[in-house]
Amino acid sequence: MESSVGRGFDVLPALAGRAARGRRGTSVTDLARDLGRDRSQLSRVLGAMAEERFVLRDPASRDLAPHWRLYADAQELTAHRLRTDGRTALEGMAAETGESCYLGVLVGDTTVTVAERVPPGSNQIGSWIGRPYPAYCSDCGQALLSDADDEEVAAVLARTGFVRHGPNTPTGVDDFLARLRVTRERGYSVVDEEAEPGLYSVAAPVRDFRDEVVAAVQVVGPRVRLAPKTEECAAAALRWSRWLENALRGVHEG
């Protein structure tokens, strides 16, 4: 016979959804109404789920929330899938574009490459994996910060010194924010000789189960070769970023 916890897994999305919408103080009555379930039966199910640490119940108010360990487990799984499914996404991008492709994450005010796919014959010396680069001029900094509002971005870059790395490096926070607004509207970033002279890149954000940006996929190469095929590279980056998002959420495409 199916356990109470097994029957209760439809409760978790409803409970998490209320929390995501900023609704505090969720009660058994609230959930019973949302799900069209019998309150007494649902209360027994939630009691079993609390014992198994799927649900937290405030001892004073009796309000309910998803247990914090679910978020910790989900974030750990996300990090694992970024390393594994991320490599698959980069292989697909590199096969379509014929260019070097990378997966980057935001660490403070820098970006760090966590995976790369460099085609044979590339002039790249060494690996970029694990190497930080200033987010304000990196190949994927704008994509990684595209969902943050201007105040959040300004806070991230508040103590950053804007050093000139290429002819088009942003000169300060306001300059970076102006470029970021274009990225938000477009849905992907274009970094044109901001990181170094002659370097061009296109990057698309990758969102996790919370719909928050956790990484970015990027196509990087010489400006003379990539600039004429910006749309082609952007289409590949967007397609594979969506594929990776589905992988992070456990949705498998046919």
pLDDT tens, N- to C-terminus, the chain (254 residues): 344 445 555 676 677 666 656 556 678 888 888 888 888 888 888 777 777 777 777 777 667 776 666 555 555 656 767 888 999 999 999 999 999 999 999 999 999 999 999 987 777 777 889 999 999 999 999 999 999 999 999 999 999 999 999 999 999 999 999 999 999 999 999 999 999 999 999 999 999 877 889 999 999 999 999 999 999 999 999 999 999 999 888 765 54
Identify whether the C-beta of residue 38 lies closer than 8 Å to the C-beta of residue 32.
yes
Non-local CB neighbours of 65 within 8 Å, separated by 6+ positions = 15, 19, 26, 55, 56, 58
Q: Is there a contact between 166 and 196 (Cβ–Cβ < 8 Å)?
A: yes
Burial of 154 (0-12, 13-18, 19+ CB in 10 A): middle
| Domain 71-248 coded CATH 3.30.450.40 | yes
- Put simply, whether the predicted model's pTM sits higher than 0.75 gets the answer no
- Show the DSSP H helices in 98-220 as ranges: 141-144, 150-156, 173-186
**φ, ψ for residue 198 (rounded to 5)?**
80, 0
CATH class of segment(s) 4-66: mainly alpha
Domains 4-66 and 71-248 share a fold: no
Closest CA to 20 of 230, 250, 210, 241: 210
Q: What does the alpha-carbon distance between residue 50 and residue 44 come to, in Å, rounded to a whole number?
A: 10
Domains of the chain, by residue range, sit at: 4-66, 71-248
